[in-house]
A and B are shown apart, each in its own frame.
Chain A
């Protein structure tokens, strides 16, 4: 059989590596490179979607052992529905982003060489695909590092800016601390699987077959959760994320935010549900709590931002939190042997994974188009772009509606499913959980509403009103490849929101594989139009009717009201008779979020300064008013600064060993050899 999903996946990875090699060889002809290489990644991604979609749709599991790697440590690969699902997610977004990149990367032509961008872009994609395909600890970690290193170089792409270098450095440190934790976690599991004599425990199959004792399993889980949480940007391990994502080229930010974080979600699901399999309820509670904290804090921090890409980066923290809420609930339900409810919660979490990839990718692409057009990331300067960039604005708006969890788009469906999972928690046999879990539902509701507020701000300040900055740049609409990339993901958002039943039918095999129950029979119980988790008496939502219904009424109202010709008079803005209204008087990002900043101020470290410059030396005659606001991440001061200070202190101490004299170094070696000889005699 040559047409196995696995073979398609191989071919796709081969294409990506080929594209990287091409970029290396044909460094000279940059324009040609962009066209060829991004076309190749487009095809490769599409192939991966086919492979993943096929594996999930038919419930196929392929396993392959590659004759590569170290002796006795061959590479194991496996494509089961879970990896197929993540392949689809990653492939779909990288398909859209690759099309978008065809146009976007051209913006760098003439400024700098894009060869490194293309090479690492291809390696980055290949790394992500391989992580999901890996079926042993060694190959997993190698792919993980390929992914991390490639993304590091992508963040560093514009390396003449100091902020890029700093962000990349912070990113690589956190990524490595996380990778160490993951390595240790696999070490614990492998050691328990076969003992520490042989190496055969490093395959995931061996881990799957082992029943871990609770203490060791907990250690492995906590290490893995810590490691993957660092990659996913779960609060408090998120600080690298709002630094690294904004400075990367926008197509890369779309991929990093949209799908690279998802590999960490994949890791968590793989380790807990698949490799360990049996766990107590409080593991789920840990995941749930971290998810809730990330969701609420992520969106609150996002609200305080005025850098468009940074705002989106904080929203990734929020959405990872929402995904973890679903997974945490699924874990709690699983530990109490409630497979149906676990399947619902897991489906909600994984559905949101897909959705977040789509809308976050879309939003970053839109932000990239804005950046491309205005050379500006600061929203305080922007405004009125909807007139110059109508297409980008429309697509960005769809992204905003989706991420704000508003019907009939996709973000709403997954959040609604999460709410349904929450509402079913009273059937848990633990009274304490019964009382506490509803609080989580309230926090999720708060998150959704705050996200809506945040995106009213993001869209309103960027695209509506007038240009706020002093010099109005010559803004142009994004090129057609960029528009196609955005349009496709916008359409996917709509399709997933209107027809969730089709998608849930397709991904149902996943929950069967992981928690042993299907929800599709009940979820689509009364037809494809209605989504009815558990039972239709319980709750129902119909995406098609909501969408078609609203649109129909809008069209009817429009036609009825335009039956009689009524003129529209265009007039200047009403200025309340003030006559000196300027564009600086509009609400901007900072003023929009002021009420929320004041209400939730205790969660930030805020420094606000107002300075009055008086005209006649009296406060009553102010000439100018200077307002300075600085908002900082609370966690930086609490958690990271002590660590940074401590490591500087230690390195200063260690630095004393450095004498710069060759004799001293020879003495060190000499002493080491003597000590070794004494002990290893």
Chain B
């Protein structure tokens, strides 16, 4: 039995846990600079999490076990997903645990429980957040599946490490279908991770928040877990996009020497994607809730055009 894939696996999970807050901090810092504010620095998310961990939990009187279980579950799902997406090497023992569809479903179960937790206390805000979150998720899902469909047409697989390998051995560079799928994926990822223009992660304004409304009642270590899991989710969506659309730099099977380079590549790509995200977030305003059908409809349209152009043009 070869041992090193397991070492990579453990290393990768630790990396996800460690780097995700830094990425969130990077996005925040860039945003501050681009808006002419002073940034709290790259490491503020770490300080936030540590501070929350050391605080006591304040719990509403009628919170049930679902409310207390949800943070752990959401965290668990994010960590497990962190072991599935190939980031450094395609030799991942856990990669066969779930393909892209199952990965999306893993995030869905985290969302399911978060939405339930939002309704558990019985305030209007929680219910509002849950209702909106589930609506957006159900509109994003068809687009997500269509994007997966389009990509899997080219790679003949939905398994992530297989997709990476196929793109490595890829013949054509200019594939309209993949380009469309990428555009669609960006829109969906913005919706799934709750970024502008779908949701504003920084707001606590009553009527505009979605994700924040669901977790409004959390405090202490529960909130820390949820925040951390949220950062990991953002990080993982970026990593998912990189693995599927721009895997260059990820070490091929059995290639151990490429791992350090892969880490460097990863950091470089993260920096670029973060800058792109900030461009989108500062360039756009948050949309009205009912405009989101058009936003996600466009994502679906793009993914479908990708699928069509695969059959028509390739």
Residues of A within 8 A of B (CB): 383-384, 386-387, 393, 397, 401, 404-407, 412, 416, 419-420, 422-423, 426, 431, 434-435, 438-439, 441-446, 448-450, 452-453, 455-457, 459-461, 464-466, 526, 530, 532, 536-542, 545-546, 549-554, 557-558, 561, 566-575, 581, 583, 585-588, 591-596, 598-599
Contacts and interface: CB of A to CB of B under 8 A. Distances in A.
For chain A, what secondary structure do more than half of its interface residues adopt (helix, strand, loop), or is it mixed?
A: helix
22 contacts: A386-B64, A386-B66, A406-B105, A407-B105, A449-B137, A452-B111, A452-B112, A452-B138, A456-B115, A460-B115, A460-B119, A464-B122, A553-B75, A553-B80, A566-B56, A566-B57, A568-B57, A569-B58, A581-B123, A583-B122, A591-B127, A599-B293
Contacts of B99: 539-541
Contacts of B225: 557, 561
Contacts of A387: 62, 64
Given A406-B108, A587-B130, A546 B98 contact: yes
B91 interface: no
Interface of B: 53, 56-62, 64-66, 69, 72-73, 75-77, 79-80, 83, 94, 96-99, 101-102, 105-106, 108-109, 111-112, 115-116, 118-124, 126-128, 130-132, 134-135, 137-146, 149, 152-153, 156-159, 162, 217, 220-221, 225, 289-290, 293, 300, 304, 307-308, 311
A557 B69 CA distance: 11
A569 B56 contact: yes
A540 B146 CA distance: 19
A566 B120 CA distance: 22
Contact of A571 (B59, B119, B162): B59
Contact of A558 (B72, B112, B116, B123): B72
Contacts of A446: 138-139, 141-142
A307 B261 CA distance: 58
Interface of B is mostly: helix
Nearest to A454: B134
A420 B145 CA distance: 11
A452 B134 contact: yes
A596 B157 contact: no
Lowest 5 A-B CB distances belong to which pairs? Answer: A587-B127, A465-B122, A460-B119, A449-B138, A453-B134
A552 B72 CA distance: 10
Given A449-B140, A461-B119, A568-B57, 5 more contacts: A383-B122, A423-B158, A434-B311, A442-B149, A587-B130
Q: Which of B72, B135, B158 has the most CB of A within 10 A?
A: B135
Nearest to B64: A386
A538 B149 contact: no
Given A453-B137, A599-B139, A466 B122 contact: yes
Nearest to B307: A438
Contacts of B64: 386-387, 393, 464
B60 A431 contact: no
A546 B99 CA distance: 12
B121 A553 contact: no
A546 B60 CA distance: 31
